[in-house]
Structure 1
Amino acid sequence: MDEEDISSKISVNLLDETVCLDGEDLTEFCFYPSSSERQNHVYWDVVQYPIPPGANLADVKTSIRAALDQLGLYSCETIFAYGDRMSHSKDDLRNSRILHLPQGELAVDLLFRANPWSPLNFIVIPRPDTKSELHRVLKGLQSRHNNIFLVNPKVHDGPFVFDSGQSIVDCTEGLDGGKPIIGGIRMGDETPVIKDSRSLVSLFESVSKGPGRTAFVFWDVAKYSTPTKSNVIPVGTGIREALQRLGHHGCVEILALGAEKVTLRRDADYFEEARIIRIPQGLYAKAWQLFLRLNPGPLMIIPTLDPTFLRSLQRKGRYDLLSVKPPVDEGTPQDVKFLHNAHLILGCTDGFYEGKKIGRGRREIKDIQDFSKPITFEKGATGKFVFVFWNLEDFPFPPGLTPDAIYKGIESTFLASGYELGNMLIWAYVDDEEGSWGGDFLTNKTWESSIYFLPGGGDKSARRDRMLHDILLWIVDLEPIRADLVIVSNEANIIADKEFSSTLGVLAQMPKNVIVETGSSFFQC
């Protein structure tokens, strides 16, 4: 396939080399600990999956530790058990170092323990329903760089999953339903050997049939940074970390194009360990063909293609295409280490990811629709933020007003009340089955103001749960921005909800200004 064939199918707007976007700086981020070094937090719903009365808790604890070791999670573990139906005594639980929280709320505790600077390994027992609020919370935590492991007892043939470490491992899944993904590599996957077109087709088709989205990296090793046994493993780690920082938490397949010509056969083991797939140079065009046809996920190209060729790839939104233009000092000793570092890779990346333009390590900031991804702020954002969480079931907006008019009315009330208002965002929680603010307001944002309508479920408790969970996700994203948290809801209902009210009490002890308002004070029309 030649350049003309490719250009008819895929495109991305190539950024002018003089352009430097405002927005999120992708190159400034914490260097998170590896999965093996992160703390392990085990959350067990003993109502959904009880511990049998005859089970030896010490053996259960030993099995969990053995499973974590097999998964490569070597740090210490903390086990929390939720639910008031326990057949073991408090002493037995304490002696086994299992913390029983009969009145605790699992999702809230997960969110409270999330740390933006040091992500964790969260192990949840049993696997929640994919349509549940807990599953939504776990996806939000994964997007914030925490590892999520779900134990699914339904795939176990024996009476009790925790009889052995191996049975736990066999039942452990990722959020996408496949085996867990650690550092962009799915557990149990072997590095395929690609010798011809048939084996390359098999790779792409197996990826496309698997769960979740898979990112591909086309790395032309003949043009940039010949891999060696000493650098190929850190290169694989650096590239995968860069894609994770962008928000891709699925598998990453790195194709080293032409590697068989510039590397020694005896180095094949190092490529296998790094899960970098050596591809004969003659299959480059075939790899493009397969990617364009199957579109399995994002594509990163190293080094960048010829600018004229890239300009011909002009259909924004159809593909996530990322082009890495290495530093100009190619050939120097520093050149070898460039691909070891995610922040250096991102600093030289242009293209689009999930509809957002990326240029020179900066990502365009667009409207924040919900909390499925981290809330990001422009570098150097000034002025105090006001974040409003509004329960529309308790206090509906006046009929006949547009979202922009509603935003303006709320803003005016805050200013008149003496708020220091630099930026304001509003999330309004609606009944997603009934009510005038559902429908298109949930799916199609056509207004300019930063007001967002989110489904809260069909009953008041579900709506308060989602609002509370989103507030805690907001807390994870917020540091170090100064902010007021304003909750517009029925105060009596909040007080009656012990989990909600106690959580607000904890938040009030943080350097945040927590205010509960009634909706009647905002609109006098």
Structure 2
Amino acid sequence: MDEEGETILFYSMNETFVCWNIDDCPVPVDTDLGSIVDNFEHALHQMGFEGRMSINVDCKKLNSNEEALFKAGRIFYLPYGETMYSNYGGELHRVLHCLKSRGHNVLLVELPPDEKCLFSVDSLLKNSRFLGGGKPRAKKELTPEEMRPLYDSEEEEEEDGSYDVSDLSNQKMLDFSERIKHVKGPRTVVFWDAIDCPFPLCFSPEQIFQKIKSVLMKKGTNDNITIWAYVDERSWRDKCLGNKTWDSRIYFLPAGDRRVRMLNDMYLQCRDAPLHHCPGLLILVSNHFSGDPFYMDLFQDMEHQNYHPFLIIPREHSNISESPDEWPQSLFNRPRKSSQGPLPKKPKLDAA
């Protein structure tokens, strides 16, 4: 790991996404708003980030200064993201490390205690560092070997087929901390909220997987199925995250703020294994998405990755009303229309 203040010579032509929490780092009242984006661009160029840049803002409410910046069309604002990071720190830290493990350069702008960010070039340079340590500074000259990757395709092959996740089931709990590879072809991925819809306690993880797989295949899905189950810390976690001895592709993860965690993991799944030339089905079993237009919009965005999203709302199934022999047939027999339901209207931005 690099020392905190060590300078790292750096150069990248990849696009840079700036994620800015205005609640934590507000725009100073007397700041020239037109200069802020320019300062970000100049600072990034001095750090070696030469690609396109976009600024994405998350906050509960814009003040008048910030509304002017938004209206100028120089930032993107998430107007209903006030619930997005209710467990902001821990989940953000996890996702940043997930991105770093996938080859992204993660740059943090962290202010010392009691210091305001003026969003000047000098302030941004002073307070920026890579996740893990080290301050990037632009390389002035690149060797031919360093230039060559800049012109190669940024996208990796869709799926290289080097290994299937089932080969790792007894060796490693797949929790999205690293890139997950899949074999080529159609697939079905299931994200199951096991707090909203608990599994029958009489079943082993192997039996749970086989029962869900059997019902899905009767519905016409392919047999390449992976299940991620988000479980209560006090019950299933101790049982299923300890000794993993089953062969099926079912993985148990701690729920935490499960709506945020599950959504982030779904995006990581789509990023790890995009489907360009074959279909895929993404099934979400949860009560926690249908009533929130912000989360439902993000969930339905999975379709842009060629994953067909399908939401199942298990309200009347939460207490396992079926007999063990029938489970989970009635859950998957519900009409799709009633599973999805109409979406609430999105709230409008006051500044628009």
TM-score calculated relative to the size of structure 1: 0.49
CA gap 1:55/1:106 in 2 versus in 1, 3 angstroms: farther
Amino acid corresponding to residue 59 of structure 1 in structure 2: S
Q: Which residue of 1 aligns with 2:7?
A: none
Amino acid corresponding to residue 86 of structure 1 in structure 2: N
CA gap 1:375/1:154 in 2 versus in 1, 3 angstroms: same
TM-superposed CA distance for 1:60, in Å, is 2.3
TM-superposed CA distance for 1:496, in Å, is 1.3
Q: Which residue of 2 aligns with 1:476?
A: 271
* Match 1:370 to one of 160, 175, 198: 175
Query: 2:244 matched to 1:448?
Result: no
Q: Which residue of 1 aligns with 2:200?
A: 398
* Match 1:175 to one of 109, 131, 146: 131
Q: Secondary structure at the match of 1:36?
A: coil
Amino acid corresponding to residue 39 of structure 1 in structure 2: E
The whole-number CA distance in structure 1 between the counterparts of 2:269 and 2:230 is: 15
Query: 2:226 matched to 1:421?
Result: no
TM-superposed CA distance for 1:63, in Å, is 2.1
1:248-270 deviation digits (Å, cap 9, x = unpaired): xxxxxxxxxxxxxxxxxxxxxxx
* Match 1:511 to one of 300, 306, 313: 306
Amino acid corresponding to residue 65 of structure 1 in structure 2: E
Q: Secondary structure at the match of 1:496?
A: coil
Q: Which residue of 2 aligns with 1:136?
A: 94
1:432-452 deviation digits (Å, cap 9, x = unpaired): 2x22x1115224321111100
Query: 2:282 matched to 1:485?
Result: yes
TM-score calculated relative to the size of structure 2: 0.72
The whole-number CA distance in structure 1 between the counterparts of 2:11 and 2:239 is: 41
Q: Which residue of 2 aligns with 1:91?
A: 68
Instruction: Flag structure 2 segments of 5+ consecutive residues without an equivalent.
Output: 1-9, 153-159, 328-352
Instruction: Flag structure 1 segments of 5+ consecutive residues without an equivalent.
Output: 1-33, 109-127, 181-186, 191-231, 242-340, 342-360
TM-superposed CA distance for 1:65, in Å, is 2.0
Q: Secondary structure at the match of 2:106?
A: strand
Query: 2:137 matched to 1:160?
Result: no
1:350-394 deviation digits (Å, cap 9, x = unpaired): xxxxxxxxxxx995552361111222123xx34x31111100111
The whole-number CA distance in structure 1 between the counterparts of 2:272 and 2:179 is: 6
CA gap 1:135/1:158 in 2 versus in 1, 3 angstroms: closer
The whole-number CA distance in structure 1 between the counterparts of 2:240 and 2:54 is: 42
Q: Secondary structure at the match of 1:370?
A: coil
The whole-number CA distance in structure 2 between the counterparts of 1:91 and 1:522 is: 59
Q: Secondary structure at the match of 2:42?
A: helix
Q: Which residue of 2 aligns with 1:57?
A: 33
Q: Which residue of 2 aligns with 1:431?
A: 232
More divergent stretch after superposition (448-457 vs 68-77): 68-77
The whole-number CA distance in structure 1 between the counterparts of 2:102 and 2:284 is: 24
Rg bigger for which structure?
1
Q: Secondary structure at the match of 1:505?
A: helix
CA gap 1:47/1:394 in 2 versus in 1, 3 angstroms: same
1:219-248 deviation digits (Å, cap 9, x = unpaired): xxxxxxxxxxxxx9455788xx8xxxxxxx
8 Å CA contact retained: 1:153, 1:161 = no
Amino acid corresponding to residue 167 of structure 1 in structure 2: S
8 Å CA contact retained: 2:47, 2:138 = no
Q: Secondary structure at the match of 2:241?
A: helix
* Match 1:466 to one of 257, 261, 266: 261
8 Å CA contact retained: 1:40, 1:73 = yes
CA gap 1:78/1:510 in 2 versus in 1, 3 angstroms: closer
8 Å CA contact retained: 2:57, 2:75 = yes
CA gap 1:96/1:57 in 2 versus in 1, 3 angstroms: farther
The whole-number CA distance in structure 1 between the counterparts of 2:304 and 2:111 is: 39
Q: Which residue of 2 aligns with 1:37?
A: 13
TM-superposed CA distance for 1:522, in Å, is 9.6
CA gap 1:60/1:189 in 2 versus in 1, 3 angstroms: closer
Q: Which residue of 2 aligns with 1:386?
A: 188
Q: Which residue of 2 aligns with 1:346?
A: none
1:263-282 deviation digits (Å, cap 9, x = unpaired): xxxxxxxxxxxxxxxxxxxx
Pairwise mapping of residues 252-331 of structure 1 onto structure 2 (< 5 A)? none
TM-superposed CA distance for 1:143, in Å, is 2.5
CA gap 1:107/1:145 in 2 versus in 1, 3 angstroms: farther
The whole-number CA distance in structure 2 between the counterparts of 1:406 and 1:86 is: 50
The whole-number CA distance in structure 2 between the counterparts of 1:522 and 1:104 is: 40
8 Å CA contact retained: 2:48, 2:137 = no
Q: What is the identity percentage for the equivalent residue pairs of Structure 1 and Structure 2?
A: 29
TM-superposed CA distance for 1:152, in Å, is 0.1
Amino acid corresponding to residue 38 of structure 2 in structure 1: T
8 Å CA contact retained: 1:456, 1:463 = yes
Q: Secondary structure at the match of 1:502?
A: helix
Query: 2:30 matched to 1:75?
Result: no
RMSD (Å) for aligned C-alpha atoms: 3.5
The whole-number CA distance in structure 1 between the counterparts of 2:205 and 2:264 is: 24
8 Å CA contact retained: 1:42, 1:77 = yes
Amino acid corresponding to residue 79 of structure 2 in structure 1: P
8 Å CA contact retained: 1:409, 1:522 = no
TM-superposed CA distance for 1:35, in Å, is 4.9
TM-superposed CA distance for 1:420, in Å, is 2.8
Q: Which residue of 2 aligns with 1:495?
A: 290
Q: Secondary structure at the match of 2:264?
A: helix
